[in-house]
Amino acid sequence: GAVVSQHPSRVICKSGTSVKIECRSLDFQATTMFWYRQFPKQSLMLMATSNEGSKATYEQGVEKDKFLINHASLTLSTLTVTSAHPEDSSFYICSAREGNSGANVLTFGAGSRLTVL
């Protein structure tokens, strides 16, 4: 079945630095990928929709200059948390939709836990 890989699974960084998280579709092409943020014991909140070859679409309240998304190929999307602060500490999850599938079935990565000191 479809597999989505996220890297790194855990990252600790100092306040003010930038962190990049990768999301790869391993055995399928993903024209659309999604980035979510999950706080402890809470649901997933959609941050942005990443479309290959075009600008990401951000949800209301998500700072696009803070959370840079790049979807340069059909198998890779990256989320960069710029000038990270402790309040950015969270669990970030990506998902991908295979090609032009109209069935809207998403495959999720295992998530990346970011801790900002």
Partner 1 sequence: AQSVTQPDIHITVSEGASLELRCNYSYGATPYLFWYVQSPGQGLQLLLKYFSGDTLVQGIKGFEAEFKRSQSSFNLRKPSVHWSDAAEYFCAVGARNNNDMRFGAGTRLTVKP
Query: Rounded to the nearest whole angstrom, what is the least distance from the CB of residue 52 to partner 1 in the complex?
Result: 12
In the numeric block, which tokens belong to residue 40? 């402890």
Site for partner 1 in 73-112 (CB under 8 A): 91, 93, 95, 97, 102-111
Task: Closer to partner 1 by CB, 45 or 68: give it.
Answer: 45
Count of residues in contact with partner 1, rule CB under 8 A: 25
Query: Rounded to the nearest whole angstrom, what is the least distance from the CB of residue 116 to partner 1 in the complex?
Result: 18
Task: Closer to partner 1 by CB, 18 or 39: give it.
Answer: 39
One-letter identity of residue 14: K
Residue pair 66/85 in contact by the 8 Å Cβ criterion? no
Indicate if the alpha-carbon torsion angle 38, 6, 62, 34 is positive or negative. Answer: negative
User: Residues in the site for partner 1, rule: CB under 8 A?
Assistant: 4, 6, 32, 34, 41-44, 46, 49, 91, 93, 95, 97, 102-111, 113
